[in-house]
Chain A
Amino acid sequence: MSTSQHSPLVQIGPPPTAARPAPAPIEMDPQAALEVMRDHVAGQTGKRFWRSLEELAGTPVFQQWASNEFPDGASTWSDPVGRRRMLQLLGASLGLAGLTACTKQPDEKIVPYVSQPEDYVPGKSLKYASALSLNGYAQGVLVESHLGRPTKIEGNELHPASLGATDVFAQAATYVLYDPDRSQSVLHNGRIATWPAFVQAMGLLREEALGAKGAGLRILSENTTSPTFAAQMKKMLAELPQAKWHQYDSVGTDNARVGAQLAFGQPASVQYNLAAADVILALDSDFLTQGPGSVRYSKDCGRRRKLVKEAAHDSAAAGQAPAATETHSAPATHEVAPKLNRLYAVESCPTATGSIADHRLPLASAEIENYARALAAELGVNVGAATTKAPADWVKKVAADLKAHSGSSVVIAGDYQPPAVHAIAHAINAALGNVGKTVNYTEPVEASTADGFQSLKQLTDDMNAGAVKSLIILGGNPVYTAPADLDFANAIKKVAMRVHLGLYDDETAALCHWHVPDTHALETWTDLRAFDGTATIAQPLIAPIYGSHSAIEVMSVLIGRPELTAYQAVREYWQTNKLLAEPFEDNWRKALHDGIVAGSALLAKTTAIRADLATALPAAKAGSGLEINFRPDGSIWDGRFANNGWLQELPKPISRLTWDNAAYIGSSTAAKLGLGNGDLVELKHAGRRVQAPMWIMPGHAADSITVTLGYGRTRVGRIGNRIGYNAGTIRTVAAPYISSGLEIAKTGDTFKLAATQEHHSMEGRDIIRVANAADFEKNPQMWGHEHPPMTLYEDYEYNGYKWGMAIDLSACTGCNACTIACRSENNIAVVGKSEVLRGREMDWIRIDRYYEGDSDNPGIYHQPLACQHCENAPCEGVCPVAATMHSDEGLNQMVYNRCIGTRYCSNNCPYKVRRFNFFLYSDWDTQSLEALRNPNVSVRSRGVMEKCTFCVQRINYARIESEKEGRKIHDGEVITACQSVCPTEAITFGDLNDPNSKIAKSRRNARNYKLLADLNTRPRTEFLARVRNPNPELEAPQAPAPAHG
């Protein structure tokens, strides 16, 4: 390994300065590093489990990361302050520290209500059912409100798209609500105007339009499922027959809609019943974390990935057949666990779904259509022949497995695959007899089934032709999101009257005459449908903070009823159409309370695959050269969440990048092109160029790269402006998701990307346990018995509760919902890219992602890691001021007001779960963000350590409530924030002293193991080993070696 003067592969810490001579720089030529990596991978001499290519290759850069407690520079004073100055400050602060005891507490005011609303009790929160939407589809939520201030989103158990969990975007909704950069007033030609002035202008526009029967009037909205909005639109189009409604989502479900039309000759929505699916084939589909039904699908799929096998309790030697029946003194706890399902994923860029699949095949996106056709042919479905580059086994044996599970299998096409793939998937499902069992079709959920890209193209063409006189944009940011070849920004300038309704004064608002601030979903009345059609009347939690108005209110103006509020419009729609049973008022209140309108799910409709499907399908496009995939960003979607600090700092699924987007490339293609992590390249596609940093994504299909949208924004706010690159600038409307003919040119520069994948490394100890289900069933003690080492310390006695947590690695998809839920519940600060680069991110629960084996198609594992609440906690013994202590319920407590910031505890923590406030990370000044915080958790200041508390505020609440009623806390009464949000129910929490609790049962599962057990820390959080259920036909036989890393 040669060191050279090239830029380092991963830049660590601040650049060396003259004042502080740096140690000999550990640098490595990216090319050399790559070669080392390739050698290791080729020879399979590396570790079995690895987290990054740098670790696999054992580069010096990685060694340095791993051997330091915090990354280099993380623990040093990074301000431009010298050592002497720092010592002076230290001395002064020591001298002055005593004086702080002399400060008097400032007077505080109590501000009671003048007239207190009913049900409001200071100190108690209330929960209201509502719904949030992404791409128009509802996700039912319960919103926690403290005296009228929404602070936390939880899932709604009654809602079919939630079942009690949510995705990351719903969790981050409160941050958007209180975002100080939201648009705050009506703007007319860039000057502050008023809503009445806007209403007047729209009144004139309406008069004019009525005269011309609507000619020249266009409305552009995003996909919507709102029945009220749709009814208003219908009314307007009836009055103004020549007006047109366009719909466009930068990323959405258009291909699924067009695909259904293609397959059945009529529009339909598709829903999957994964609870009944034994075999699932995902064709470039990340159905577990993206799309309208993803949370529900995660729930259903997750429940079928957990193997329950009680551990034998005799101390039989490992390997001996265990007693299969009850050996525990506790009451019988056998649950009939559902049969394990089997998940196949064929995809280009690794996704959450691919990462938990039993078999994953990296295949370029454009090739997936050929694979689908070949698979269909194998199953006897005529959709036209094709030759596929996929291995023959993947066609024959997957087809055989699907066929063997006719009626209980399902093929799911990804939203970004072309309509033809959707149609083929529908045809295969029909042929396998899955329809009505694992696949259901209904009338479309959406108000309009138009293809958004075609709709936007038509609008742009009309604008260019001068046929559009007024354009009203209700939500969305087409100037930024429209594919570059449409040149929407120039076309819109040809429209005489341009109106924009949006949450931010964004790129589109800048080009419009009128801008009206949109209401946040928690500020307005609306109605929405879920993926299965279930309607929610979504109620607001708070009056609009900035006097904003919703799309329904703007539509009310356009239909000549400007006095109509959103509440009146929604209520009137449901009342006049008699959509709720009588008595209306009772059922209206019940619908609001439950968060769903009972019985509103759409009924299954019978569909038939059109007979001429084979000829109707467009021929597969043969691409040439490098393929490029355009995908929504895992954190900020299509850019709408760009100003959301929580999401920006959220390590993206799989890549663990924060604050930037990169172009993902497979390791062998990167080696072929001589590219390394952080290399800045110029991507040339469709005659346009953009500069992007590369990121090697192990498991990415060869000759294909994936770029994510949503970055490179210029007008969104102080967080989201000018970070990342805008991949939309090389996107075309003809091939918005998958295209070919990409050219890559190196610029010679590198770009620093803030990835967290190497932070807090645990260096390949026995961290992840994986087994094949069949091997595990045969030998549940394959990892050997755990004999806790002797200890000198006396055991703690727990007479009351003894809290514990279990995390099932079989179910975790790495979706990040827990991380965001924890941030929201526990007031965790956002630190920014430069601090993340120093390894100072503050998340209390992080998800470690491990790779296994071949870097071209590695196994991918996720391990959520929070404070383990060790019985023999190494942190407790070293704190000089007893700021971290053991509680009599087993919690490892952190007392902020005692902490003096020695960081000894973090240094001594083998799990690297403690986080230090190096600076004043919490924003104490921005007023709107104060409302965001959970009043039951301290907001930490500079200089204190913090970490997971097992949501002690929730434990305390339950303890107090139960004590008042003179009972014990029920099992399931304390639900931690991460547990509550988890879409796959991977996290269990409860009282270990109660033998019937879920957590106690989980402990008796043979898959249970402690992390780093040999350190004798006796962690209170334990893990359940990942169990795979591979198809023995498809898997090369391998030695059933215990999976020690």
Chain B
Amino acid sequence: MSQLFRPGANTFAKASVIAGLGIALGLGGIVNNIERTSYVTNVNVPRDQPVMFTHKHHVSGVGMDCRYCHTSVEVSSSAGIPPTETCMGCHSQIWSEAPILEPVRESWRSGKSIQWTRVHDLPAFVYFNHSIHVNKGVGCATCHGRVDLMPMVWKENTLLMEWCLDCHRAPEKYIRPKDQVFNMEYKPEGDQAALGAKLVAEYKVRKLTDCSVCHR
């Protein structure tokens, strides 16, 4: 009986093992990278909203503070989305006839909430608390980016766990003085590493990397 495989088949077999591994790794790499693309994470994708609200105009144009609308950011886990009443506080006086604000006036007339699309959407098993971050010197812009320059808000960061841990493992890289937390234009004076280390000590910031800090 003649040989089924010629000597060259050995090479083919070896090559196919290596190629198979390569394909498996490649596929893994593709999956790994797909979940980091903005297609999945929505990073840098401005989201449609029921009202064409622009942060750029209200913050850098009009000069409003974040906390005018996001009232509970310093005290609660949730920063708070302003009730229609907050919008109407001004817009019953100015731009009170603007067609762009009709959904706001409609909400006020009918008593039905405006339904915003959530831009920063954490999974349900993550329990994030705004107040402790703000109170420990994490600026709004550190996570949310330059919202003051965004006409329609998009997500600046992936909000993947690796991104959270980047700061939770080394908070000194990002921490700023508490009085600069709401300053959108803040840039560290001098060396962030030195300033960060000093602030971490001063604010008693801990490296909280235990699972139960965020998952419960």
Contacts and interface: CB of A to CB of B under 8 A. Distances in A.
B25 interface: no
A113 B113 contact: yes
26 contacts: A102-B40, A104-B39, A108-B121, A109-B117, A110-B118, A112-B114, A113-B83, A113-B113, A114-B111, A114-B113, A116-B83, A121-B72, A123-B78, A124-B77, A891-B212, A893-B215, A895-B211, A895-B212, A897-B215, A898-B211, A936-B216, A938-B125, A949-B216, A953-B127, A956-B129, A964-B135
5 A-B pairs with least C-beta separation: A123-B78, A123-B77, A123-B76, A113-B83, A887-B210
A122 B77 CA distance: 8
Interface in A234-280: none
Contacts of A101: 31, 35
A766 interface: no
Contact of B213 (A111, A112, A113, A956): A956
Interface of A: 98, 101-102, 104-105, 107-116, 121-124, 800, 885, 887-889, 891, 893, 895-898, 936-939, 949, 952-953, 956, 960, 963-964, 966
B212 A938 contact: no
B125 A887 contact: no
B127 A122 contact: no
Interface of B: 31, 34-35, 39-40, 72, 75-78, 80-85, 107-108, 111-118, 121, 123-125, 127, 129, 131-132, 135-136, 204, 206, 210-213, 215-216
Given A109-B115, A964-B131, A964-B135, A102 B31 contact: yes
A186 to B, nearest CB: 26
A936 B127 contact: yes
Contact of A114 (B112, B125, B212, B213): B112
Contact of A107 (B40, B118, B213, B215): B118
Contacts of A98: 31
A509 B2 CA distance: 90
Contacts of A896: 125, 215
Given A108-B118, A111-B115, A123-B77, A116 B212 contact: no
Contacts of B215: 893, 895-897, 938
Nearest to B132: A960
Given A949-B216, A956-B212, A112 B127 contact: no
Among B77, B116, B135, find the residue whose CB has the most chain A CB atoms closer than 10 A.
Answer: B77
Given A101-B35, A110-B117, A898-B211, 12 more contacts: A102-B35, A102-B40, A105-B121, A107-B118, A108-B118, A114-B108, A115-B85, A121-B72, A888-B210, A895-B215, A956-B129, A963-B132
B124 A122 contact: no
B78 A963 contact: no
Contacts of B125: 896-897, 938
Contacts of A966: 204
A122 B72 contact: yes
B72 A123 contact: yes
A104 to B, nearest CB: 6
A112 B83 contact: yes
A889 B209 CA distance: 12
Given A101-B35, A102-B34, A960-B131, A953 B216 contact: yes
B39 to A, nearest CB: 8
A949 B81 contact: no
B118 A109 contact: yes
Given A102-B31, A956-B216, A893 B210 contact: yes
Interface SS, B side: loop
B84 A109 contact: no
A893 B213 CA distance: 10
A104 B114 CA distance: 24
Given A112-B82, A115-B85, A123-B78, A938 B113 contact: no
A885 B76 contact: no
Contacts of A964: 131-132, 135
A937 B72 CA distance: 21
Contact of A885 (B31, B113, B211): B211
Contacts of A956: 127, 129, 212-213, 216
B12 to A, nearest CB: 27
B123 A107 contact: no
Contact of B116 (A109, A123, A885): A109
A226 B123 CA distance: 47
Contacts of A116: 83, 85
Contacts of A110: 81, 115-118
A112 B113 contact: yes
Contact of A122 (B34, B76, B85): B76
A124 B80 CA distance: 11
Nearest to B210: A887
Nearest to B73: A123
B31 A124 contact: no
Nearest to B74: A964
Contacts of A105: 121, 123
B211 A893 contact: yes
A124 B211 contact: no
A107 B210 CA distance: 29
A245 B82 CA distance: 53
B80 A121 contact: yes
A966 B34 CA distance: 42
Nearest to B76: A123
A1021 B188 CA distance: 47
Contacts of A895: 211-212, 215
B210 A104 contact: no
Nearest to B80: A122
Contacts of B114: 111-112
Nearest to A112: B81
A110 B84 CA distance: 13
A114 B83 contact: yes
A113 B114 CA distance: 8
Contacts of A949: 212, 216
A966 B215 CA distance: 24
A884 B52 CA distance: 45
Nearest to B133: A960
A499 B107 CA distance: 42
Contacts of A891: 210, 212
Nearest to B209: A888
Contacts of A937: 216
A1032 to B, nearest CB: 50
Contacts of A898: 211
Nearest to A98: B31
Nearest to A938: B125
A936 B212 CA distance: 12
B84 A112 contact: yes
Contacts of A108: 117-118, 121
Contacts of A121: 72, 75-76, 78, 80
A121 B71 CA distance: 9
Contacts of A109: 115-118
A952 B211 CA distance: 11
A897 B113 CA distance: 32
A963 B178 CA distance: 14
A945 to B, nearest CB: 14
A488 B97 CA distance: 68
B116 A115 contact: no
Given A107-B118, A110-B116, A963 B210 contact: no
Contacts of A893: 210-212, 215
B110 to A, nearest CB: 8
B210 A885 contact: yes
Nearest to A108: B118
Contacts of A102: 31, 34-35, 40
A107 B204 contact: no
B46 to A, nearest CB: 14
A938 B116 contact: no
Nearest to A115: B85
A124 B127 contact: no
A518 to B, nearest CB: 29
A800 B206 CA distance: 10
A107 B121 CA distance: 8
Contacts of A113: 83-85, 113
